[in-house]
A and B are shown apart, each in its own frame.
Chain A
């Protein structure tokens, strides 16, 4: 590879950058207001598109010169739909929980009038004298944004925004470096793959680079199949260029000519935005033939995964790219030596690749100064479940679970008690309160039986049954098992049958030992990560919540009142208000009737246990309760 003179790359890039900067300044420092609507998938499901439509209607055809931009997800999913308004002369403010009505008022009062409407504001995005800043919230003491620095703040469908924020600068720098030096930089930074296993990125690149052969491939693994994880989706939808830039740098380093982004088809918006981003990068000469005027060429194709969880495993992913069923195969040979079409192939996770430009730009020392001794940098988590501030967060490695769940996540809603946190999806585990003060990184999580996984974090409170959670995850892996290995195909089926017995009240004490034994066999007897880690949810719940298993087996009782077959709904006669018919009206199967005294009674034969009556019963009465085991209903009647 002949490297052209550095000053040529620099000057080509400078031209691109200057144009982008002037575009950005015109937008951001101009004399017109800018409205940004957070319209990633999460925002859309909360109604962001209706808000956007209202804004456009309200502003009218010429929009009064106001610039309206669709941006990605800011990570504050709990407050969606979210709108950011920048009006010249005022601080930039983020408004949360926006409805079409509220946005109408914002336009009338703030855009047209002068009232900044603090009642709708989440906080300002910069220090000012009018409003408290969003960054004064306690959560920002713990958070450190590297991957999330741009999300929700730039238009993902406009490459100029990304460039104006310093994007593609690392590419220009990398193209002037020797590939060995880039690998060295990445090695010194201590970057480990963010797909879950935490393998050293530099080592992977090194192996692929030194493998013989002219044709090499680079694949971005965006097959984010873990239920409960959505970081990769948010990054692709909100800042796709950071991933593309990382891919081009990685390809230059390992000597790959062709790249693939393997995205789940369940993420249509991510697919759409990545397609746009690829086209734009190509048109500016940052991707494709002779990147930035050098002799280096690299193209990226987008490939849509078809909904098979096992395809997140790299050898299965390769099989899927080749047009075959996604069955994993034995490693070695590792893909870095013999991968796609038998050629050396590097597969990196979305987040790993998105770190690369930042490390090249800011240096290895900057990155390695963040995090713990063996796990460098930050960790991105998707907080979901029973937590107040659901959404994305990014914290340095070594932050404790308590800090993430209670300081960043705002704790458990409705004053309920924390019970467990599930980390790492179907391969991870459920950790109890006693693990909350452990600093988390790749290694500490493994020690307690969980794993980093791709970073989904689902918080559970006292109403969640741990046996049911274990059953749920096993049902998932059982269904997604590709069927290649006997232990994974049949062992998980037997384990699942036992857990189903527990949740239906048919379990026996001896089953617990058999379950442990089987779990161990499945772990040893499976080829890929899916099978090897599938017993983790069962093993961790058995380890930390054995009492609950016992209650299910010995007393046929679900302590959390969740297992469908072990509970019954009951209306307390002494609390039921006779003149109120709320439950009767909302019951979806007409299972509730009034008796002679006009006290409401549930017919257990008709009841489908959907819980609608419980929500419908006005809080001042609170007459609907759940009982476990269901026989208690009879006892209560007598």
Chain B
């Protein structure tokens, strides 16, 4: 199981991790693993916490988990790709989740997804090349009464319009410029 050269790459992240980064990923994954018993039924909670720690589930982390639970890597990969929650690509600093529940869809959720795609120049499930934003959809966040809803950095915002998308982006841009100035 140590030899991984024959296994096709499982993370299609555009930016490959350096050996130092890989080492860091392994170290942080191991730290999470210590909290769990070596039982198969802990696989999903383990992956959830590893993702909380790393922001996504790179191949190195999946291998660590598989070794820890003494199960084939493909079983880990199978679970990671089965559930929508798990990401194979590194996240951006800010996460944008467009709700496409029934109510949000009927009130124009897809128009907002278009607006985000247009502005960020990425598709759903992707991260901008500067790793500032990642964009994805969510089936329903349960705020149907506030439709259409977008969840930006875990905060649900209701009754959003395409112009509000521009406004949100502008606010982040201004904040970033302010921070950059201060750090200089």
Contacts and interface: CB of A to CB of B under 8 A. Distances in A.
A534 interface: no
A612 B118 CA distance: 15
Interface string B65-89: 0000000000100110011111000
A249 B86 CA distance: 35
Contact of B106 (A224, A266, A460): A460
A472 B139 CA distance: 12
Contact of A323 (B44, B106, B118, B149): B44
Contact of B42 (A228, A323, A425, A456): A323
B158 A425 contact: no
B88 to A, nearest CB: 14
Contacts of A80: 145-146
For chain B, give the interface size range. 35 or more
B111 A611 contact: yes
Contacts, number: 161
B115 A588 contact: yes
Contacts of B42: 323
B45 interface: yes
Q: Which of B82, B101, B110, B163 has most chain A Cβ within 10 Å?
A: B82
Contacts of A228: 101-103, 140, 144
Contacts of A233: 142
A306 B80 CA distance: 10
Interface of A: 41-42, 44-46, 77-78, 80, 224-230, 233-234, 265-268, 303-304, 306-309, 320-326, 382-386, 390-391, 422, 425, 456, 458, 460, 464, 469, 472-473, 476, 480, 482, 564, 586, 588-589, 608-612, 615
Contact of B100 (A227, A306, A609, A615): A227
A224 B166 contact: no
The list of the 4 closest CB pairs from A to B, nearest first, reads A77-B145, A228-B102, A384-B144, A306-B83
B163 A588 contact: yes
B143 A230 contact: yes
A41 B45 contact: no
Q: Which of B83, B140, B154 has most chain A Cβ within 10 Å?
A: B140
Contact of B154 (A78, A268, A390, A480): A268
A269 to B, nearest CB: 10
A322 B79 CA distance: 11
Contact of B79 (A46, A323, A469): A323
Nearest to A392: B145
Contacts of B158: 45-46
B145 A42 contact: yes
A612 B161 contact: yes
Interface in B25-52: 39-45, 47-48
Contacts of B163: 586, 588, 612
Contact of B156 (A41, A464, A472, A611): A41
Interface of B: 39-45, 47-48, 75, 78-79, 82-86, 100-108, 110-111, 114-115, 118, 138-147, 149, 154-158, 161-163, 165-166
B22 to A, nearest CB: 25
A179 B108 CA distance: 51
Nearest to B146: A45
A473 B43 CA distance: 31
B146 A323 contact: no
Contacts of A306: 44, 47-48, 83-86
Contacts of B114: 608, 610
22 contacts: A77-B146, A225-B139, A227-B100, A228-B101, A228-B102, A233-B142, A266-B138, A303-B45, A304-B44, A307-B84, A308-B84, A324-B43, A324-B79, A325-B83, A384-B144, A385-B107, A422-B102, A464-B106, A473-B102, A588-B118, A588-B165, A608-B114
Q: Which of B106, B107, B145 has most chain A Cβ within 10 Å?
A: B145
> Taking chain B's interface residues, is the majority helix, strand, or loop, or is none over half, making it mixed?
helix
Nearest to A325: B82
A229 B140 contact: yes
Contacts of A382: 144
B156 A44 contact: yes
A78 B107 CA distance: 15
Contacts of B48: 265, 304, 306
Given A323-B44, A325-B79, A384-B102, A45 B144 contact: no
Given A266-B139, A469-B106, 14 more contacts: A45-B156, A77-B144, A229-B140, A304-B45, A304-B48, A307-B138, A324-B75, A385-B106, A385-B147, A476-B139, A586-B163, A588-B166, A609-B111, A610-B115
Contacts of A383: 145
A326 B79 CA distance: 8
A520 to B, nearest CB: 24
Q: Which of A383, A464, A476 has most chain B Cβ within 10 Å?
A: A476
Contacts of A268: 154
A434 to B, nearest CB: 21
Contacts of A226: 140
B82 A308 contact: yes
B178 to A, nearest CB: 22
Contacts of A320: 44
A612 B162 contact: yes
B155 to A, nearest CB: 8
B75 to A, nearest CB: 8
A225 B166 CA distance: 30
A202 to B, nearest CB: 30
A456 B102 contact: yes
B35 to A, nearest CB: 14
A224 B142 contact: yes
A574 B145 CA distance: 37
Nearest to A230: B142
B140 A227 contact: yes
Contacts of B165: 588
Nearest to A265: B85
Contacts of A422: 102
B139 A227 contact: yes
A497 B66 CA distance: 38
A482 B82 CA distance: 8
A588 B167 CA distance: 11
Nearest to B40: A323
A549 to B, nearest CB: 18
